[in-house]
Amino acid sequence: MGSVAGLRQPRMSGLRSWLEKVYWAMEQRIVPGLTSSQDTYLEALTRHVGRDTRWLDLGCGKSLLPLWKHEAERRLVAQSGMLVGVDRNLPSLQTNDTISLRVGGDIADLPFPDESFDLVTANMVLEHLYGPVGQFREIRRVLAPGGVFLCHTPNAHGYPVLAARLVPGAVKRLIVRGLEGRHSQDVFKTYYRANSPRRLQQLAAAAQLRVREVRLTLSSAMLAVVPPLAALELLWIRALRSSRLQRLRPTLIATLTRD
């Protein structure tokens, strides 16, 4: 599940453009200072990318970041020493124009030698892992000692995931296309087997990784193009700023390390 990715794509004329303006005005009024979790993830990512970093991105597909962050993605990639993108979806991988080193592959069997990378990242990928114990062990295998695994993913206890689990797959694909502008071929099966702080601790222990930090994060409203419902969602997001309700925040950003 994403936030309002579709809204931040290049501006569309007509009704959708008007709905965008209405939403942003509401967001600024109801939850001033709210930022997308993708912006929060980018800030975390920037701290780990340097000229000497050997970087692997898992499930990169068409891009590392949403299309509305394309220029920021280009700048970040230009700052990196070596970046490799891996994805099972070859048609998506072939359209990626920011990563030059692209490899078709599965996280369960990464086609790289041991200790090949200093940084491994995954942006909205963990929710699709079907066998996370083995996949986390593969991530550890390719990480060099002291390496970092940084991931951004939906929180299994967050309200978007709880709502999505009530919706049949076919209906969900229609909703995603309407809200985010994604086509059905870009909507993949979700398992949510690595999507809570507790589960990440368990997986890290099984894979001999260490959890350095797990941040439960807020993001823009999912229902942004439906103004009456977006207003209600923004009121709920404002309530989620309370530490007492942080368990229900929609996304998490986790930093794991290999000692």
70: left (phi over 0), alpha (psi -120 to 50) or beta: alpha
pLDDT band at 2 (very low <50, low <70, confident <90, very high): very low
pLDDT, tens only, 112-169:
999 999 999 999 999 999 999 999 999 999 999 999 999 999 999 999 998 888 776 6
DSSP helix/strand/coil, 90: helix
Q: Residue 165's pLDDT is what?
A: 80
pLDDT, tens only, 215-257:
999 999 999 989 999 999 999 999 999 999 999 999 999 999 9
Q: Residue 178's pLDDT is what?
A: 54
d(CA 129, CA 156): 13
* Residue keyed to tokens 């994805």: 87
Closest CA to 72 of 98, 53, 48: 98
Q: Tell me which H or E stretch contains 122.
A: strand 117-123
pLDDT band at 16 (very low <50, low <70, confident <90, very high): confident
CA distances from 239 to 22, 218, 226, 232, 233 (A): 21, 11, 20, 11, 10
Q: Residue 130's pLDDT is what?
A: 94
pLDDT, tens only, 161-202:
988 887 766 555 555 555 555 454 446 789 999 999 999 999
What's the gap between Cα 49 and its chain centre? 17
Q: Tell me which H or E stretch contains 254.
A: strand 251-257
Q: Residue 65's pLDDT is what?
A: 96
Q: Residue 39's pLDDT is what?
A: 97
Would you say residue 3 has pLDDT above 50?
no
User: What's the CATH code of the domain at 175?
Assistant: 3.40.50.150
Closest CA to 253 of 131, 125, 146: 125
- The whole domain housing 131 covers 5-257
- Record the pTM: 0.88
pLDDT, tens only, 76-118:
999 998 999 999 999 999 999 999 999 999 999 999 999 999 9
Tokens of 19: 């709905």
* Contact criterion met (CB below 8 Å) for 25 and 67: no
pLDDT band at 11 (very low <50, low <70, confident <90, very high): very low
Laid out side by side, the sheet with 54-58 consists of 101-104, 82-87, 54-58, 117-123, 143-154, 251-257, 210-217
Question: Any residues with CB less than 8 A from the CB of 250 and at least 6 apart, and which?
Answer: 1, 3, 37, 154, 155, 158, 159, 160, 161, 217, 218, 219, 222
Domain count, the chain: 1
Q: Residue 4's pLDDT is what?
A: 46
